[in-house]
Structure 1
C-alpha cells in the first residue's frame, strides 16, 4: 500500500500544482466532517486518528503516514481515493465526503 501511495504521489508531482479536485478548493472542506467519516467508514481497516500508527488490518496504511508521504497533495489524494486497490473495498465517496476526508488527512501532517 505504501509503495502505491509513493507511486501515485510521484506521478502527481509532475502535474500542475494548481490542479484542484473538480473545481473544489481546500476552503470548501470540513476537517471535522472528514474525521467523522474516516472514523465511521475507514477505521475498520486504517488507523485514522492523529498519532495512531498501527492499523487494524495488515497492509492498511495509517492516515498519519499517508499525510506525511512526500508529494501527497490534495490532488494526489483525490487520485488515490478514486483508484481501485486490490486490498481495499471499492468505496465510492461523494465529492463532499472526499474533500472532507482529504482535508482531514492533510491536517494530520506533522512535518514542519
Structure 2
C-alpha cells in the first residue's frame, strides 16, 4: 500500500498541467473505450459482465471507493499482468478517465 501511495505521488508530480477532468471530452473517452477497451472490458453503464471475465467492468472501476482522477490515471499508466501494454496519449488518457468517472453512481 505504501508503494502505491508513493507511486501515486510520483505520478502526480509528473503530470503535465491541464490534465484536469474539466479539460477532458467524455464522448471522446467513450469512443476510445469502444474502439480499444471494449474487446475485454464492459464499458457501458448497463453492462455488468465484461467480454473477458477477468477484465473489470468500467462501471465497477468507477464505483470503486477512492477511485479518483489521479488513481485512474496511475492505474492506466501501470502495467497489468493480464492487460496488453497500451500506451495512451495524454488527451486520450484524460478523456478515458473522464468517461470512466462519468459512470460513477450508476
TM-score (normalizing by structure 1): 0.80
Is 1:69 aligned with 2:70? Answer: no
In the other structure, the counterpart of 1:43 is 38
Is 1:60 aligned with 2:59? Answer: no
TM-score (normalizing by structure 2): 0.85
1:46, 1:56 within 8 Å by CA — same for their partners in 2? yes
Structure with higher helix content: 2
Q: Secondary structure at the match of 2:70?
A: helix
In the other structure, the counterpart of 1:22 is 16
5+ unaligned residues in a row in structure 2: which ranges?
A: none
How far off its partner does 1:79 sit? Answer: 0.3
1:31, 1:104 within 8 Å by CA — same for their partners in 2? yes
Number of equivalent positions: 100
